Chain A
Amino acid sequence: QVQLQQSGAELAKPGSSVKISCKASGYTFTRYYISWIKQTTGQGLEYIGYINTGSGGTNYNEKFKGKATLTVDKSSSTAFMQLSSLTPDDSAVYYCARKTLYVMDAWGQGASVTVSS
């Protein structure tokens, strides 16, 4: 079955970076894009962007340009999101999701990022 397994919770200091992973299984990794979504209590669900897992091409929500960097490692069927120059506003749960033509049809379990000094 299709599964997206995300890395664990992160505690990071302001100004630092974190890299979250999303390992796919149960399907051909390069046939589907991977999307990333941020969830906070205050802002709800926000779409960060997506990566073409075959070509590595990316498309970012303007709000997250310069904050998030999406990459893939095809050899391990893993997508990554790096968050840089962290501030407390980056504290959230981050989800990866497999994107089909219409819908994000499989989601990771979420990765919690807490930014605190």
Chain B
Amino acid sequence: DIQMTQSPSSLPASLGERVTISCRASQGINNNLNWYQQKPDGTIKPLIYYTSNLQSGVPSRFSGSGSGTDYSLTISSLEPEDFAMYYCQQDASFPNTFGAGTKLELK
């Protein structure tokens, strides 16, 4: 299985700050990388698919980039509703695998 290493595991940040979360795959995944947000109530929603495509309804302050084995999610200016857990997921090979998550916390 492809291993996904996500960093940092915890990210204290302030409102309005720009933040970046990284994800590294144990082998090349040809841009088949998605990002999800999980709220404290357990609700999970997709943010970015295929590295850099914004899911419908997701604010434009979210963006994704990367290639090969290294990918990142950037939030340009943090809003109160952005403080949550974030996960990367590779869809290049079966079984899909997820990063361990990043907890974005209010500083």
Taking CB atoms, residues of chain B closer than 8 Å to A109 are: 42-43
Give the chain B neighbours of A110 by CB distance below 8 A: 42, 44
Please tell me if A25 contacts chain B, counting CB pairs below 8 Å.
Answer: no
- Size bin of chain A's contact surface: 20 to 34
Interface bin, chain B:
20 to 34
Stretch of B20-28, B45-53, B73-81 contacting A (4+ beta carbons < 8 Å) = B45-53
Q: Is the C-beta of B69 less than 8 angstroms from some C-beta in chain A? A: no
Interface check B19, CB cutoff 8 A: no
Q: Are B50 and A103 in contact (CB under 8 A)?
A: yes
Assess whether A95 is in contact with B44, with CB atoms less than 8 Å apart: yes
Contact yes or no, B46 A103, CB < 8 A: yes
A61/B95 in contact, CB under 8 A = yes
Pick the residue among A35, A46, A105 that contacts B46 (CB under 8 A): A105
CB neighbors of A among B10-59 (8 A): 32, 34, 36, 42-46, 49-50, 53, 55
Decide: A102 and B43 in contact? CB cutoff 8 A: no
**Nearest CB in chain B to that of A63: its residue:** B95
A103 vs B31: C-alpha distance when bound (angstroms): 12
The CA of A61 and the CA of B75, in the complex, are separated in Å by 32
**How far apart sit A93 and B44, CA to CA, in the bound complex (Å)?**
12
Give 19 A-B contacts (CB < 8 Å), ordered by A residue.
A35-B96, A44-B87, A44-B100, A44-B101, A45-B89, A45-B101, A47-B95, A47-B96, A49-B95, A59-B94, A93-B42, A97-B44, A102-B34, A103-B91, A104-B34, A104-B46, A105-B49, A107-B44, A110-B44
5 extra interchain contacts, Cβ-Cβ under 8 A, other than A44-B101, A95-B44, A104-B34? A46-B98, A47-B98, A102-B53, A105-B46, A105-B55
> Which residues on A are within 8 Å of B, measured CB to CB?
35, 44-47, 49, 59, 61-63, 93, 95, 97, 102-105, 107, 109-110
